[in-house]
Amino acid sequence: MMILVVNFYSFLFYILNNKGRLFISAFLFFTVSCTNKESIHLNGFTMGTTYQIKIIGKDLSKEKIQIKSKIDSLLYDFNNIFSTYIDTSEIVRINESIKDTLNISYHMKKIMNESFYVYRNTYRSFDPTIKPLLNLWNFDNDKFSIPDKKKVNNVLKTIGFNKISIEDNYVIKNNINFDFNAIAKGYAVDLIGSYLKKRGHNDFLVEIGGELLCSGTNKKDQWTIGLQNPYIDNGYVEIIKLKNKAIATSGTYINFYTHNGISYSHIINPINGYPVNHKTVSVTVVANNCLIADAYATGLLVLGNIKGLEIVNKNKDIEAMFVTGTKNDYVVEYSENFGSFID
């Protein structure tokens, strides 16, 4: 006898960090038929936000506790490398060290190398050495004030990913400070995905704070993702389907500070030192891994739709969607092959 059960499962992913992330709603449609596949859902808290994981397979209930424990352990170790809020983390040690040449872990080296790749390809619009600028603007402080131009220009002299170098397992930082918040969640998503594949799982969705990795299928079909309309509650700009792809979205309109009637985005342009103020309000990037999608989403948002689309259309490894304009007058633009994902 074939039992047909149609179930609907949805997540609302809110971003809680200073990247100004949009949230992505992932609609997970799945059908149980004559197959004996089941699914398990895992969730928890990490990096100031939440994570959600769905795994499709057989006899998963036997693994659930072990998988959850391993993922939490992995995320704990990850935070102890990249969190700027943990005094003993590797990144805090690097930033506070008076030495310029420092030994770095495998994961720190990996994220630095990938960051430089996106830094170069976005013409410096993605730059994890932006920490002094973030400190200067101090959006997390209730006593927000706009720094004068002289201070901004002075701080700009202290940033630039091109000022560092990596040799073997060492970074020569040249008095540079790092903040990988714009890429770390994407990398953590990838690491969880790699762990699940090592356990033999190929059909799963991993999400941390809105960054998603869609592996295999959702039982029978590709993973269906709803991309939030920045101006309409519970509305969607687009519905897309993904298989073995990652997706990340960055936006200017959720996290901002209003001062004297003017809104200042938390997204800082590392080239001029000021919050992004053009009309592009969100950028969604689809890539082969979440680390790259995460980094490009930020860098392309800084650039805006015109320059951003030029970059994406020259890069066969990523696709992107840009939302530009105001609530009553906005346009949605796509890279050349983004349409292949549209449902």
pLDDT in tens, 10-58: 333 332 233 444 444 443 433 333 356 789 999 999 999 999 999 999 8
pLDDT of 59? 86
- Please give the C-alpha separations between residue 171 and each of 30, 97, 117, 158, 221, in angstroms, as whole numbers: 46, 12, 16, 17, 44
- Does residue 70 sit within a domain? no
Q: Are residues 217 and 171 in the same domain?
A: no
d(CA 54, CA 43): 9
Residue 254's pLDDT band (cuts 50, 70, 90): low
Q: Are residues 157 and 248 in the same domain?
A: no
Q: What average pLDDT does the structure give for the chain?
A: 87
Q: Answer whether residue 343 shows pLDDT above 60.
A: yes
In the predicted model, what is the mean pLDDT of residues 211-225?
94
N residues, the chain: 343
pLDDT of 20? 41
> Of 139-148, 242-251, 291-300, which range is least confident?
139-148
Largest CA distance in the chain: 75
Q: What is the CATH number of the domain that holds 293?
A: 3.10.520.10
d(CA 178, CA 132): 9
Provide the domain limits for residue 176: 82-180
Residue 2's pLDDT band (cuts 50, 70, 90): very low
- Does residue 48 sit within a domain? yes
pLDDT of 25? 46
**pLDDT one-digit tens code per residue, 79-106:** 999 999 999 999 999 999 999 999 999 9
**pLDDT one-digit tens code per residue, 124-172:** 999 999 999 999 988 776 667 789 999 999 999 999 999 999 999 999 9
Q: Are residues 163 and 89 in the same domain?
A: yes
- Does residue 192 sit within a domain? no
In the predicted model, what is the mean pLDDT of residues 60-70?
94
- Does residue 197 sit within a domain? no
In the predicted model, what is the mean pLDDT of residues 236-245?
95
- Does residue 191 sit within a domain? no
pLDDT of 36? 65
pTM listed for this prediction: 0.89
Three-state SS at 83: coil
Give how many domains the chain has, as a whole number: 2
Q: Are residues 218 and 327 in the same domain?
A: yes
d(CA 47, CA 182): 12
In the predicted model, what is the mean pLDDT of residues 272-284?
93
- Does residue 164 sit within a domain? yes
Q: 10 Å Cβ neighbour count for 62?
A: 8
At a CB cut-off of 8 Å and minimum separation 6, what does 250 contact? 19, 20, 21, 22, 182, 267, 282, 283, 297, 298, 300, 301
Q: Are residues 221 and 325 in the same domain?
A: yes
Q: What is the CATH number of the domain that holds 154?
A: 1.10.3980.10
- Does residue 143 sit within a domain? yes
- Please give the C-alpha separations between residue 255 and each of 16, 23, 28, 118, 268, in angstroms, as whole numbers: 9, 12, 27, 23, 12
Q: Which of 20, 22, 7, 17 is nearest to 212 (CA)?
A: 22
